[in-house]
Amino acid sequence: MQRTRITAKVLATVAVAAVSGCMSVDPGAAPAPGPPPATGPAGQGVAPQIVQGPAREALEAALAPPPASAPRQPPPAAPDRAPAPPATPPTAPRDDRPGELPSPEHPRDRLPRMDPPSLPSVPDNVPDVCTLGRSFGDWDPDSRQAKLCQEALGH
């Protein structure tokens, strides 16, 4: 029963594909090609055109309107050129950088003296690592692990 359903579906699909593919179209007059595009100077339109949006309008729309009681004042006009700094005679270079505090004369005198922490003592009855590997790791005495441990630690 299942085989006949599959066969019927396949035959129906093939029939639909055959019918849709067997349509004929009368070759009519093809539309006339349009006029060729106008050619401009060489290189025009090659680079992407970058257009900047209206920044002032976007900012004014995004910001809240200023209070009505405060009249808006125009910004002060900027001078065309900044005045030149006064000429100063060359001086010896200074070691201190602007914004830094002067270094103390004896910085070690101000720090408290601290002894290094003592190291923890190792108990005398610590088992040999290689022996632990042989007993709990089931290492063969002639295995690669045992030989590496023997070479590295000498046990």
Q: What is the pLDDT of residues 117-136, one digit of tens each?
A: 887 776 666 667 788 888 88
- What is the percent of the chain with per-residue pLDDT over 70, rounded to a whole number? 46
Torsional sign, CA 40, 43, 48, 53: negative
Which of 4 and 155 is assigned the larger pLDDT? 4
Which of 146 and 102 is assigned the larger pLDDT? 146
As to burial, measured by CB atoms within 10 angstroms (0-12 exposed, 13-18 middle, 19+ buried), residue 6 is: exposed
C-alpha distance from residue 74 to each of 68, 77, 78, 81, 115 (Å): 16, 9, 12, 20, 66
How would you classify residue 99: left for phi > 0, otherwise alpha for psi between -120 and 50, otherwise beta?
Answer: left
Which of 9 and 36 is assigned the larger pLDDT? 9
Which of 69 and 129 is assigned the larger pLDDT? 129
